[in-house]
Amino acid sequence: MHKKVTFGGFAFPLVLLLPQLAITFVFFLWPAAQALYQSVLRQDAFGLRTTFVGLDNFARLLNDPSYLASFKVTLVFSTSVTLTGLAVALLLACMADRVIKGSGAYKTLLIIPYAVAPAVAGVLWYFLFNPSIGILAYLVRGLGYNWNHQISGTDAMILVVIASVWKQISYNFLFFLAGLQAIPKSLIEAAAIDGAGPWKRFTSIIFPLLSPTTFFLLVVNVVYAFFETFGVIHATTSGGPGQATTILVYKVFTDGFVALNLGSSAAQSVILMLIVVLLTAVQFRYIERRVQY
Amino acid sequence: MSFKTQALAATAAAALLATAATAEAQVEISWWHAMGGELGDRLNEIAEGFNESQSDYAVRPVYRGNYTETMTAAIAAFRAREQPHIVQVFEVGTASMMAAEGAIYPVYQLMEEHGVDWDPEVYLPAVVGYYADPEGNMLSMPFNSSTPVLYYNKDAFEAAGLDPEQPPKTWDDLVEASRAILEAGAADCGFTTGWQSWLQIENFSALHNVPLSTHANGFESLETEFQFTSDLHKRHIGNMAEWQQENIFQYGGRRSDSRPKFLSGECAIYMDSSGSYAAVEAGADFAFGVGMLPYYDDVEGAPQNSIIGGATLWVLQGHEDEEYEGVAAFFQYLSTPEVQAKWHQETGYLPITLEAYHLSDEQGFYDEKPGTDVSIKQLTLNDPTEHSRGLRLGNFVQIRDVINEELEEVWNGNKTAEQALEDAARRGNDLLRQFEQDNS
């Protein structure tokens, strides 16, 4: 028989919940409400004149071809960062899982990039790929490709994707490794005895059993690509050349913090918020069905 | 502990006591600035110099990050009523500061109300004009101003059989020199440029005495509209795109990202801020010279004069009278020829008074470091006209990015010069209209 433990009354559970509720309120609900409020206002930088403009900020954005173009850029960027980041991390995790000697050293080295600030990661890759002095740009040129991310939008996109992925791989790696170690060895051995090769074992046992981790990382990485990458972009391409690497969140940052156009910046955050809510809902509705817990 | 260190420690303790004793009576003035590293040290020396020169006031400089961060921090502080007395704001933030009438204390008013015999005539018109209202009243105190110049690799010039003491004067000279250098194999590229909007559009307009935008580049009205779609502008940007095919020109990034191209010897000529002098001097392992920006000699009135960049000190409202007296006293100290000449010589920024220039000349600074006077000569080439006084454009931080984006579309071949300039003007005008709306 189950022994049911309950807390009497309403106040005590509330007190227990309070810290979490307070954090949610202060760091999530309140700023979100502020963004909503600011998005229907226009204000000069000093806040001396405020006018209510209704949905004008939104209308202006949706009629701005350069804003619409940055949707496409964001789509390409986020997809590349998420897929590459997951694939490379999974590969590394599978490799590290099999290493017997010195696995601690490998793991530590693979985790280090996570401690690097996005802007620093950006600057690092900026120097490596600098068309004039960068060693990687030099090597790529040796292979016959004229690397110049200052002019070529494709090169610039590749650069920011590499820098962002590199930064996130450690995080993904950590979770994949934990996921791999949680898979019972007996299952894999049984499959091996039945004659399944490494690839077959991976596709029919390991990958399906990893799916909760993969799904979790998918959500986290999409959010990362959407929100946390502006430091990388700011330090490497500043959204250029042209608008080739101006993703939505970078535009929020520049319009709000550089140009001090708070109304438009707030409207953009609201749109961004809606997109992420939508994306997460879609992920949970359609992808989670295929996850086996 | 030797006698020397003991003596040092004793003096330090005494000094500490002395400052502690006077701190009570002193009026504190906070100064937010954006000068990191070496420049920050020089700035602190100025504040220390002022604090030692008198005992009533103490200026406390605080580093607040880069220009944008400093301005944003000051504005946020103002909104929270915690603003500093003085904040350093870069030139493209000028229009935003000016429009904030209740927030700023115009320098000419401050000096009239709190200053002792202040003469606005001593300042260089080319510097002050950028930061003056239409009546010519100084709104902010120029601090670090620079203007773009042309750096060239003397070794490459010599290898190509060119006169290393003769920097190209006109664009035709520059193309000719670049071709000679490319043919001789003295470098892989002719020239590159930093800050393309500032140099190749804004200063280009001033130097050729053509308007960048209507209403005297925005000085006279918020209704200003861009005019950099003229035939001359299209010709220049079109030329640069064409020169790119021959490697006469190579693009190297938005800010000063192109400097490595010059320092590595890849490009023989590099146009950028006169404030880059120290960095070029430190990084170049070849002989280099400084010249003025090139111009098209078939354009009447060229070369007019170049315009400045850099930052000024704005005074914010909401403080006590006696504190403003301190600010006024500090600004007077800052304008003395000795302080200005020292700042100018150590940093490469322009002096803000003519006296400081003469003083530097007398001290033999320009003979010692040839080329450091090119900037001031170019800036004062002629009396500024309404096209060469400066710019007063709202949302200009964003507009510069628009211009950057559109020019990059030219460099990567996606757009023609005509199309890109038209698009930049259209997008820029939208931003100008927004600013007009927000501030009227």
Element (H, E) at A127: helix A118-128
Structure pTM?
Answer: 0.82
Residues 6+ apart with CB under 8 A from B390: B91, B129, B130, B131, B217, B219, B307, B308, B384
Residue B7, amino acid: A
Bridge partner list, B249:
B191
Of B71, B78, B408, the CB nearest to A151: B408
Dump pLDDT digits (tens) for B287-303: 999 999 999 999 999 89
Residue B336, amino acid: T
Measure in Å the smallest separation between the Cα of A72 and chain B Cα atoms. 17
Dump pLDDT digits (tens) for A161-184: 999 999 899 999 999 999 998 888
Whether residue A131 lies within 8 A of chain B, CB to CB, comes out as: yes
Q: Calculate Rg over the CA atoms of chain B.
A: 23
Q: What local confidence, expressed as pLDDT, does residue A79 receive?
A: 95
Residue B351, amino acid: P
Tell whether the model's pLDDT for residue B13 goes beyond 60: no
Which residues of A are less than 8 Å from B71 in CB distance?
260
Residues 6+ apart with CB under 8 A from A251: A67, A70, A239, A268
Q: Which residue has the tokens 């709202």?
A: B394
> How far is Cα A278 from Cα A280, in angstroms, rounded to an integer?
6
Which residues of A are less than 8 Å from B414 in CB distance?
242
Question: Would you say B228 and B212 are in contact if contact means Cβ atoms under 8 Å apart?
Answer: yes
Task: Give the burial string for A203-232 (b: 16+ CB within 10 Å, else e).
Answer: eebbeebbbebbbebbbbbbebbbeebbbb
Coil, helix or strand at residue B34: coil
Q: What local confidence, expressed as pLDDT, does residue A293 receive?
A: 66
Angle at A71 between CA A68 and CA A75, to 5 degrees: 155
CATH number, domain B19-146+309-368, options 1.10.1750.10, 1.10.645.10, 3.40.190.10, 3.40.50.1980? 3.40.190.10
Question: Would you say A241 and A152 are in contact if contact means Cβ atoms under 8 Å apart?
Answer: yes
Tell whether the model's pLDDT for residue B18 goes beyond 50: no
CATH domain B148-306+395-438 topology: D-Maltodextrin-Binding Protein; domain 2 (3.40.190)
List Cα–Cα distances, A25 to A14, A20, A224, B240, in angstroms.
14, 9, 22, 54
Coil, helix or strand at residue B415: coil
Of A238, A241, A260, the CB nearest to B96: A260
Question: Would you say A205 and A188 are in contact if contact means Cβ atoms under 8 Å apart?
Answer: yes
Which residues of A are less than 8 Å from B253 in CB distance?
150
Task: Give the burial string for B392-407 (b: 16+ CB within 10 Å, else e).
Answer: bbbbbbbbbbbbbbbb
Bridge partner list, B315:
B86
For residue B36, the 8-state DSSP code is -
Q: Do B252 and A45 touch (CB under 8 A)?
A: no
Alpha helices in B276-362 (DSSP H): 277-283, 321-334, 337-347, 354-362
The mean pLDDT of B25-31, rounded to a whole number, is 90
Question: Would you say B306 and B203 are in contact if contact means Cβ atoms under 8 Å apart?
Answer: yes
Angle at B326 between CA B321 and CA B330, to 5 degrees: 145
Whether residue A68 lies within 8 A of chain B, CB to CB, comes out as: no
Report CA torsion sign: B429, B434, B436, B437: positive
Q: Do A261 and B405 touch (CB under 8 A)?
A: no
Whether residue B278 lies within 8 A of chain A, CB to CB, comes out as: no
The mean pLDDT of B45-52, rounded to a whole number, is 95
- Which of B101-105, B128-132, B316-320, B413-417 has the lowest average pLDDT? B128-132
> How far is Cα B273 from Cα B306, in angstroms, rounded to an integer?
11
Q: What local confidence, expressed as pLDDT, does residue B159 receive?
A: 96
Whether residue B439 lies within 8 A of chain A, CB to CB, comes out as: yes
Q: What local confidence, expressed as pLDDT, does residue A1 receive?
A: 52
For residue A271, the 8-state DSSP code is H
Tell whether the model's pLDDT for residue B260 goes beyond 80: yes
Measure in Å the smallest separation between the Cα of A142 and chain B Cα atoms. 17
Whether residue A240 lies within 8 A of chain B, CB to CB, comes out as: yes
Q: Do A47 and B79 touch (CB under 8 A)?
A: yes
Q: CB neighbours (10 Å) of residue B127?
A: 24
Question: Would you say B329 and B57 are in contact if contact means Cβ atoms under 8 Å apart?
Answer: yes
Q: Do A48 and B101 touch (CB under 8 A)?
A: yes
Interface of B with A in 383-402 (CB under 8 A): 395, 397-398, 401
Q: Which two tokens stand for residue B46?
A: 């100025």
Q: What local confidence, expressed as pLDDT, does residue B362 receive?
A: 93
> How far is Cα A284 from Cα A292, in angstroms, rounded to an integer?
13
Query: What count of CB pairs under 8 Å joins A to B?
Result: 88
For residue A146, the 8-state DSSP code is -
Dump pLDDT digits (tens) for B173-195: 999 999 999 999 999 999 999 99
Of B96, B252, B439, the CB nearest to A150: B252
Interface of A with B in 147-176 (CB under 8 A): 150-153
Angle at B22 between CA B17 and CA B23, to 5 degrees: 95
**Which one is predicted more confidently, B428 or B14?**
B428
Q: Do domains B19-146+309-368 and B148-306+395-438 have the same CATH topology?
A: yes
Within a 13 Å sphere around the CA of A82, how many CA atoms are in the beta-carbon half? 20
Coil, helix or strand at residue B264: coil
Tell whether the model's pLDDT for residue B235 goes beyond 80: yes
Tell whether the model's pLDDT for residue B8 goes beyond 60: no
Interface of A with B in 175-234 (CB under 8 A): none
Give residue limits of the domains in chain B. 19-146+309-368, 148-306+395-438
Q: What local confidence, expressed as pLDDT, does residue B3 receive?
A: 47
List Cα–Cα distances, B88 to A170, B67, B91, B261, B324, in angstroms.
40, 8, 10, 31, 16
Measure in Å the smallest separation between the Cα of A182 and chain B Cα atoms. 46
Stretches where chain A sits below pLDDT 50 are none
Q: What local confidence, expressed as pLDDT, does residue B17 receive?
A: 47
CA A276 to chain centre: 11
Dump pLDDT digits (tens) for B363-381: 999 999 888 899 989 998 9
Mutate to test the interface with A, among B285, B398, B423, B429 (most CBs of A within 10 A): B398
Q: Do B96 and A238 touch (CB under 8 A)?
A: no
Q: Which two tokens stand for residue A292?
A: 């086996």
Whether residue B138 lies within 8 A of chain A, CB to CB, comes out as: no
Q: CB neighbours (10 Å) of residue B208?
A: 21
Q: Do B103 and A46 touch (CB under 8 A)?
A: yes
Q: CB neighbours (10 Å) of residue B223?
A: 13
Q: Which two tokens stand for residue A165?
A: 């992925």
Q: Do A44 and B439 touch (CB under 8 A)?
A: yes
Whether residue B426 lies within 8 A of chain A, CB to CB, comes out as: no
Dump pLDDT digits (tens) for A267-292: 999 999 899 889 888 888 887 777 76
Of A44, A132, A242, the CB nearest to B252: A132
Residues of chain B with pLDDT > 90, as a percent, come to 65
Dump pLDDT digits (tens) for B122-140: 888 878 888 888 788 899 9
Which residues of B are less than 8 Å from A240 in CB distance?
254, 404-405, 408
Local confidence band at B6 (pLDDT 50, 70, 90 cut-offs) = low
Q: CB neighbours (10 Å) of residue A14?
A: 11
Of B395, B412, B437, the CB nearest to A153: B412
> How far is Cα B242 from Cα B248, in angstroms, rounded to an integer?
9
Bridge partner list, B57:
B27
Tell whether the model's pLDDT for residue B20 goes beyond 80: no
Mutate to test the interface with A, among B247, B400, B408, B435 (most CBs of A within 10 A): B408
Q: What local confidence, expressed as pLDDT, does residue B248 receive?
A: 97
CATH number, domain A72-290, options 1.10.3720.10, 3.40.50.970, 3.20.20.140, 2.40.110.10? 1.10.3720.10
Q: What local confidence, expressed as pLDDT, does residue A237 receive?
A: 86
